[in-house]
Every structure is written in structure tokens, then in C-alpha cells.
Amino acid sequence: MKERKHHDVIVAWAQGAKVEAKPKPYLCLGKGWEEQEYPVFYNNWDYRVKPREFEEGAFYVARQKSEFTGIVSALEVVQFYKGAFLLSGLLSDRCEEDFSYIGDKIELEDYVEDDSI
């Protein structure tokens, strides 16, 4: 059975992700991506999961994917810096897609390792 055009975004929305929509340019209904609380998922509109914003210089607990096998690593603290993530103080040119999990912002003094996530 063929999946619906916006299948991945619909599933993400059903799991609680925020969704943005943009009408096709010829419809002239909007100026760009707009958050949709209850998206309709028209076939002739574009939809995406709203990109997550990270605070410059903030620390996050994350689980990195393996470049070759896709196997996830242990939890580690990463810092967001100039659009990428620092691992152990080294700019590793990793983006959000390189992680299977990125938690909420943390304060380093409050961080206690917890592998239960």
C-alpha cells in the first residue's frame, strides 16, 4: 500500500511534534512557513516538522548515532556552538540529524549521568 504524501510529518505530529505548513506559491495564501496547531495536510501544500532551536553556548545531553552502523552511543554532554555541536570540547561538525536523542537544555552543575533515557 502506498503511503500518503505527508506520512512522516503526520506521524510526527501524532506523536506530539509541532508542524509547519506552507501553501504552494501560486495559492498566495501565506508568506512562508506557519505553525499549524491542527494541520489539515492538503496534498498541494508543503509540510514539515518545525525545526528545533538550540541556544548558542547551551549544553544538552545527547546520544550520537554511529556514522557507519547507525548504532547509538552512550549519553554524553554536548554544547551547541555556531550551528554545530561540540563533543568533549571539540567542534565535530555534528548537526541535529547526527543524534538519535537530544534532551532539553541542562545546567552542567545539575547534570548527573543517567543511562535510563
Mind listing the pLDDT tens digit for each residue in 47-99?
A: 999 888 899 999 998 887 766 665 656 788 888 888 888 887 665 667 777 77
76 vs 58: CA distance, rounded Å:
14
User: What does DSSP assign to residue 25?
Assistant: G
25 in a structural domain: yes
Q: Could you tell me if 64 and 101 lie in one domain?
A: yes
Top-confidence residue, 111 or 62: 62
Note down the domain range covering 37. Answer: 7-49
Q: Which three cell numbers stand for residue 82?
A: 555556531
Class of residue 44 by CB neighbours under 10 A (exposed 0-12, middle 13-18, buried 19+): exposed
Same domain, 42 and 76: no
Which segments of the chain does DSSP mark as H helices, in order?
7-14
pTM for the predicted model, two decimal places: 0.56
How many structural domains does the chain have?
2
Q: 64 with 102, same domain?
A: yes
Mean pLDDT, all residues of the chain: 80
Which residues lie closer than 8 Å to 45 by C-beta, 6 or more apart?
Answer: 21, 22, 23, 24, 27
Residues 68 and 31 in one domain: no
Residue 20, pLDDT score:
92
Q: Answer whether residue 95 is part of any domain.
A: yes
Q: Predicted confidence band at 116 (pLDDT cuts at 50, 70, 90)?
A: low
**Residues 65, 97: one domain?**
yes
